[in-house]
Each structure stands twice: as C-alpha cells, then as structure tokens.
Structure 1
Amino acid sequence: MGIVSIVTNDGFLLPSAPNFRDLGGHRTKEGRTVRSGLLYRSDALHTLTEQERATYDGFGIRQLIDLRSSHERDRLPDLIPNGAEYAAIGVQKTDSAGANFIDLFADPEQARVAFGDGAAERHMYDVYRGLVTDTEALDGYRDLVERAAKGPTALVFHCSAGKDRTGWGAALLLTLLGVEREVVTTDYVASNDRQAATDHWMRLLSQESGLPWEDIEPMTRVKPDYLDSAFTLIDQEYGSFDDYVVRGLKLTGATIDGLKSRMLV
C-alpha cells in the first residue's frame, strides 16, 4: 500500500475530479472534530490521469460508494482505488428525470418541457424532495451511513457532479456527527467553485438540445435554499431530524454511536 496522504478539504486534490474533497476537519457542537483522511466526497471518478491515480491510490480508500444511477454507471464506469471495495447504491428512482439526463436531453422537445421556462429550478426542489422521502433514497442513504459507521475506511462516496446526491449525503453524515447547520451549509455550497466539468458537460447538452443556458444553469449549482428545503421537508414529514433518522432512515443508535466513534476525535 502507498503512503496515505495527509489532506484537508481545501484545494483540488484530483484536478480531473475537482469536487473530490475530505469531509474531515469540521468541528461539532460538542467541540469534537471530524477526523481527516477517513471520509471523502467526490464527483465522477472515471477520468483520472495516470498521475492522479497514484495520488488517488495513496489516500488509502477501502470503500467506494457510487450513488449514480445504473445509466450513469454503465456509461462511465468508476476507476476503483487499489484495494477498495466497490458498492453501487442508488438513491433516486431509475425513471426520474435527474437519474438519466443524457437520454432526456437527446429529445430537445422533452428537454424543453422538463427544464425550460424556469422548470429547472422547480426540478431541483423536486430532486431534494425525493432525496429525503423516496424509498430508494431512504434505503440508499441508510446503507451509506451504515458503511461509514462499520468500515472499512477510508471511504469515498460520489455521484456525477458531487453536489446534490453527494451533497445530501455529506449534509446527512455531518449532521449525524453533530456539525452545526451553518457549517454543513458552507461545506455544501463549496461545490459551486468545483463545477467546471459539470459546466462543460451541461453546455454541450444545452447546445445539442437548443435549450438556452439560462434555463439549464440552475441545475449546475447548489443553493442554500435547496438544502434548506430538504431539512424543512424532514421537519414537516417526520417532525424532526432525529425522527427522520429513526423512522425514515431506520438507523439504530448503535450505528450512530459507531459512526461517531470512528469519525470524531
């Protein structure tokens, strides 16, 4: 095994995956700190260069959790770190618009109906509604938390842009660890400075579909309101975040204790 790199959640660790970053270093409400080098979040992991592969393998990753849809996984298979377990964990319905962008944009008229005239922003709120209420999401995020709690670590979880499915996963894990909401939101919106690859891809889809960029742009960035809408919906549907954890995600106290024991110092 290579030397495990010491990293922070600042900087671009893997230029070909600009949203790859460490969730460590955040402080909790109780004054503890999320360990560095154990929990990573990322965007797509299929285009790493040979030089980046050496860095990637050096993080000592032992689990790679792929939150993408089967369509995305089949088109662009992950590069798996040496010695890592791979798990595909879907968190969206396979027939949802967000789960299969490429096929949707292949039909310009369908794309205009789905995302034109302000519909893209409404679509984003629907995405977050699904991420906290759909059965697929509840099952998938429970699996993510359980894997983080039990190991082996280090662990990386990712989707395509690393901002929505991964963004909610990171917000969930950090909240479970006791990180303040303001800090959780700061980590969440940091994705906006790491979307060059997403912009390139979405501009190509914009050109192919004939849909103006301003109609598509809301899907290329995260907004605090998107995250707030998820937490608000949790309060409405479950009464509190704690009840969402117990009744929605069906996570046990032992799992949460295990997560904190592994991830906090």
Structure 2
Amino acid sequence: MNSHRRPPALRRVLLCAALASATLLAGPVGAVCLPTAPVAVARAQDSAVTVAGVLNFRDAGGYPTAFGPRMRTGVLYRSGALQNATDAGVQTLSDLHVTKVVDFRTDAERTAAPDRLPAGASAALYPVSSTDRLQSFGQLLSMTADEQQALLGDGGAEEMMLQTAREFVTVPGKREQFGKALRDIADARGDDAVLVHCTGGRDRTGWLIAIVQTLLGVSRDDVFADYLRSNTELASWKQGVLQQLAAGGMQDPGLVEPLLDVDASYLQASFDQAQQSYGSFDAFVRDGLGIDDGTLARLRARLL
C-alpha cells in the first residue's frame, strides 16, 4: 500500500533508474534528478534561428527599453543545458558567434550532463545551488505517498520555489556568481555573443536575465513575460517528466508541478527581496552584486 514505505530493494531500483535516466534540473530543490529531456528544437525570439537539441533557447533581446533603443538581439542568449545539442545545433551556436557560455549548474549537474560547446567557445562555470529540502526525484520516489504529500502538498512545493528565489538575493555566494555573469556579459567583445544557461533555463537563468533586462530599462511587463515564456517552451518536456514519475510509482506526480514551472510570484519574490535587503533594485545591483558604474555603462553600451 502507498501508506507503507517501499522495501529497500525497490527503493534502490527506483533511485538507480531515476539517476540513470536523468538530467539535473536545478531550481528550487537543488540538484534534482529528472528524466532526460528529449532532443528538441527551440526557436530564438524574433528570429528564425533554431538550435537543435537545446531546450528553452531564445534571444534575451528585442524588447523596448526606457532608454530609447530596443535591447539588442544577437548578443545575449538564454537556454537550458547543452548536453543534447545535435551536431547541427552546435554549429548553429557557432554561427551565432557564441564565444562564452555562462553555466550556473552545480558540479553534480555538469558531471551528469556535460555541455556540448561550439568550437572556440569558453565555459564560465558559476555554480548556484538551491535549497536542500529535496535533493533528487530518486529521493522523492523512495518516499511513501503520505511523505510526498507532507513535503510538497499544501503549498510546500511553492514555498521551496519562493525560498530559492529569495536566496538568489540573500546568500552571498549566489550573489557573487550572478555578479560574475553580469561582468562577463558587459565585457564581451565585438560580435561575440554570450549564452547563459542552467539546466532548464528557468530559475537561475531567469533571474539573471531579469536583472539584465531591468538594468536596460525593459518594462516590468516584458521582463515577466520573458520569464514566464519558459512554461511554454518546456511544456512538452514537463509532461514527459510527470509521466516518468508516474511510471516510477509516484501516486500524485502533480505535486511536483510547482517545481517544474515558473510563476510570476517566484520572480517577484526575488525583486521583493532585493528591495527589502538593499532598499532598491539599483542598490542591490551595486552593493549586492558588486556592479560598479563602469561595468553598468559597458553593459548598457553593449546591449542597447
């Protein structure tokens, strides 16, 4: 019965199966083991560019800004991890002049699913971990249905997401990594483009891109719309994850949906924490992320 803990042998089988068929999706629950995403083709915003095998790929630019010009396209991209990029997809990244790939994944995530980088591109490894209440879906599958409900039900999953969003601001080591990424984007040269990603391209990537867009004067509505677009880009992948969790024995896979989605409240929690901790978003960027006026000027000159 679901109210009884599964036998140890079965737990080991489920855990090994989950790990063997998984990529690591960070976000609210840290290094969470998920079934491998299918090879997919994603479309960059406002362009006909596709990158075969890369989930949630798009241009971060193209939006109107308060400074007059639209945010430039072709210089800053966002995506999920690159481990499933096909040969054609890798060539497309090369054609887009992607010369630096900022990777927010943890060491465990990268080891489980190494990126495929275009020739000549360098990787900037800035790991950002998340909360530790749930480390993997293997761990989740080893729980009883009652334990899963106690952990994730009644708003538990949403609170994990909100806690992660707040920790992007409150944890010094995480702020440091986001600051490094901003400096890399500001200091890119010529026609070079920077690609920022984590595993799903949703939470860590979503916050960094929201910071950049806000600094460039993109409207709050457009910032949130770009963030929420990940739900559309990852819809088929999400359904595959839920199906595999059900096949693994989870009675109510819907409990994990808040861990697979992005929600406006998650991004708002990061912005609210920045305001609460630093008094303003600008002060958060200056004092929390360590971005000085010169770096900010280079960032705007490059992306506007």
Partner of 1:157, secondary structure, is strand
Q: Which residue of 2 aligns with 1:189?
A: 228
Given the alignment of the two structures, is residue 240 of structure 1 paired with residue 280 of structure 2, yes or no? Answer: yes
| RMSD value, Cα | 2.1
In the alignment, which of 115, 122, 125 is matched to residue 78 of structure 1? 115
In the alignment, which of 226, 250, 253 is matched to residue 290 of structure 2? 250
**Contact map agreement 1:14 1:56 (CA 8 A) in 2:** yes
**Contact map agreement 1:61 1:81 (CA 8 A) in 2:** yes
Name whichever structure is richer in strand by fraction.
2
Change (3 A) 1:71 1:105: farther
| 1:84-138 deviation per Cα after TM superposition (whole angstroms, max 9, x unaligned) | 0111101225x7357x435543533575554344311111111101112111210
Q: Distance in 1 between matches of 2:200 and 2:150?
A: 23
Given the alignment of the two structures, is residue 260 of structure 1 paired with residue 296 of structure 2, yes or no? Answer: no
Unaligned runs of 5+ in 1: 1-6
**Contact map agreement 1:92 1:130 (CA 8 A) in 2:** no
Percent identical: 31
Partner of 2:61, secondary structure, is coil
The alpha carbon displacement at 1:148 in A equals 0.2
**Contact map agreement 2:52 2:88 (CA 8 A) in 1:** no
In the alignment, which of 190, 202, 213 is matched to residue 163 of structure 1? 202
**Contact map agreement 2:242 2:254 (CA 8 A) in 1:** no
The alpha carbon displacement at 1:232 in A equals 1.2
In the alignment, which of 167, 175, 183 is matched to residue 146 of structure 1? 183
Change (3 A) 1:56 1:102: farther
Change (3 A) 1:12 1:129: farther
Number of residue equivalences:
256
In the alignment, which of 116, 119, 136 is matched to residue 101 of structure 1? 136
User: TM-score, normalization: structure 1?
Assistant: 0.88
**Contact map agreement 2:90 2:117 (CA 8 A) in 1:** no
**Contact map agreement 2:141 2:250 (CA 8 A) in 1:** no
The alpha carbon displacement at 1:12 in A equals 7.3
The alpha carbon displacement at 1:213 in A equals 1.9
Q: Distance in 2 between matches of 1:157 and 1:209?
A: 35
Change (3 A) 1:157 1:97: farther
Larger Rg: 2
Q: Distance in 2 between matches of 1:211 and 1:123?
A: 21
Q: Which residue of 2 aligns with 1:90?
A: 127
**Contact map agreement 1:138 1:249 (CA 8 A) in 2:** yes
In the alignment, which of 157, 166, 170 is matched to residue 120 of structure 1? 157
Q: Which amino acid aligns with 1:181?
A: R
Q: Distance in 1 between matches of 2:51 and 2:164?
A: 27
| 4+ aligned runs moved over 4 Å, structure 1 | 9-12, 109-113
Q: Distance in 2 between matches of 1:257 and 1:203?
A: 47
Describe how 1:221-236 pairs up with structure 2 within 5 A: 221-236=261-276
| 1:185-234 deviation per Cα after TM superposition (whole angstroms, max 9, x unaligned) | 11111111011234423542454362512211111111111111211111
Given the alignment of the two structures, is residue 33 of structure 1 paired with residue 73 of structure 2, yes or no? Answer: no
In the alignment, which of 67, 91, 97 is matched to residue 54 of structure 1? 91
User: TM-score, normalization: structure 2?
Assistant: 0.77
Mean Cα displacement is larger for which, 204-213 or 45-54? 204-213
**Contact map agreement 2:55 2:200 (CA 8 A) in 1:** no
Q: Which amino acid aligns with 1:88?
A: L
Q: Distance in 2 between matches of 1:258 and 1:131?
A: 24
Q: Distance in 2 between matches of 1:205 and 1:137?
A: 30
Q: Distance in 2 between matches of 1:221 and 1:213?
A: 13
Q: Distance in 2 between matches of 1:76 and 1:223?
A: 26
Partner of 1:86, secondary structure, is strand
Mean Cα displacement is larger for which, 58-67 or 211-220? 211-220
Q: Which amino acid aligns with 2:210?
A: A
Q: Distance in 1 between matches of 2:282 and 2:257?
A: 34
Q: Which amino acid aligns with 2:299?
A: L
